[in-house]
Amino acid sequence: MIRALIFDFDGLIFDSETTDFISWQETFAAHGVELAREVWALHIGTITFSPYLHLEELLGRPIDRDAVHDVRKARDNELIAAQTIMPGVEDYLAQARALGLKLAVASSSNHKWVDGHLQRLGLFDQFEYIFCNDDVGGVGKPDPAVYRAAISALNIAPHEGLALEDSSNGVTAAKGAGLWCTAVPNQMTRDLNFDHADYRLSALTEMPLSQLIAEVTHGAI
């Protein structure tokens, strides 16, 4: 029986991943090199990839990272300001409450980022727990640490939780913690391999939560 629903944040609740890529892609182009979408997508959901280092490797020289940061971040903020809640998220939250499920967030980002945007979007109070990389010593996905922290706080067995993830690294983390996991890829992650997910949706609007739970678990207890 599923007792809790655990959401990833970036790319699942709020599409900061596309804006992040666009701002970095424009930054690379301004330096005369290309940031390949395939390279970026492989690292979505982690905190180990350094665009600064990758840019320097392509250029064959060091860059003024502070100057690059300021320009790139200003552009990213401009793009993010236009982003809203991803389709289906609010409906799933309402359906989860109707089903009596506990709700949590498990993110590779830090609390300043996640909490701030959840508050801006009016979703902060929807979740009983919000776990980020700074809750688990700065470790990000695909390490399952953030999911294990959520499982412990929710006081559930791993098989009683369903995670929603948009990235392959996120699915690896959720499955590593013993959770059921549904992949919900976005435009940045749709071409990644999600064979290790228990189920895949094109969007949360594809089916009601109760139907998804039945499809994922096949009635398992």
Q: Which of 80, 97, 123 is the last residue of a domain?
A: 80
Give yes or no: residues 128 and 155 share one domain: yes
Give yes or no: residues 29 and 138 share one domain: no
Give yes or no: residues 25 and 8 share one domain: no
In this prediction, residue 46 carries a pLDDT of 75
Give yes or no: residues 68 and 103 share one domain: no
Give yes or no: residues 202 and 100 share one domain: yes
In this prediction, residue 110 carries a pLDDT of 95
CATH number at residue 40: 1.10.150
Give yes or no: residues 95 and 170 share one domain: yes
Buried b (16+ CB within 10 A) or exposed e, 114-133: bbebbeebebeebbebbbbb
Q: Which of 80, 100, 125 is the last residue of a domain?
A: 80
The two tokens of residue 47 are 């905190």
Give the structural domain span for 72: 16-80
Give yes or no: residues 210 and 142 share one domain: yes
Strand order in 180-183's β-sheet? 129-131, 102-106, 4-7, 161-165, 180-183, 199-200
- Considering just the CA atoms, what is the radius of gyration of the chain in Å? 18
The question of whether 8 is a catalytic residue gets the answer yes
Residue tagged 């395939």 (tokens): 38
The two tokens of residue 83 are 């982003």
- Along the 221 residues of the chain, how does pLDDT read in single tens digits? 999 999 999 999 998 888 989 999 999 999 999 999 888 888 877 777 899 999 999 999 999 999 999 999 999 989 988 889 999 999 999 999 999 999 999 999 999 999 999 999 999 999 999 999 999 999 999 999 999 999 999 999 999 999 999 999 999 999 999 999 999 999 888 888 999 999 999 999 999 999 999 999 986 54
Prediction pTM value? 0.87
Give yes or no: residues 92 and 162 share one domain: yes
Q: How many domains does the chain have?
A: 2
The two tokens of residue 3 are 């007792």
CA distance linking residue 129 with residue 104, whole number of Å: 5
The question of whether 10 is a catalytic residue gets the answer yes
Give yes or no: residues 138 and 64 share one domain: no
CATH number at residue 130: 3.40.50.1000
Give yes or no: residues 30 and 52 share one domain: yes
Give yes or no: residues 111 and 41 share one domain: no
In this prediction, residue 42 carries a pLDDT of 80
Give yes or no: residues 48 and 24 share one domain: yes
Residue type for position 57: E
Omega before 144 within 30 of 0, i.e. cis: no
Q: Which of 29, 54, 80 is the last residue of a domain?
A: 80
In this prediction, residue 17 carries a pLDDT of 83
CA distance linking residue 172 with residue 156, whole number of Å: 19
In this prediction, residue 33 carries a pLDDT of 97
From the candidates 8, 15, 135, 143, give the one annotated as an active-site residue.
8
Phi, psi angles (nearest 5°) of residue 111: -65, -35
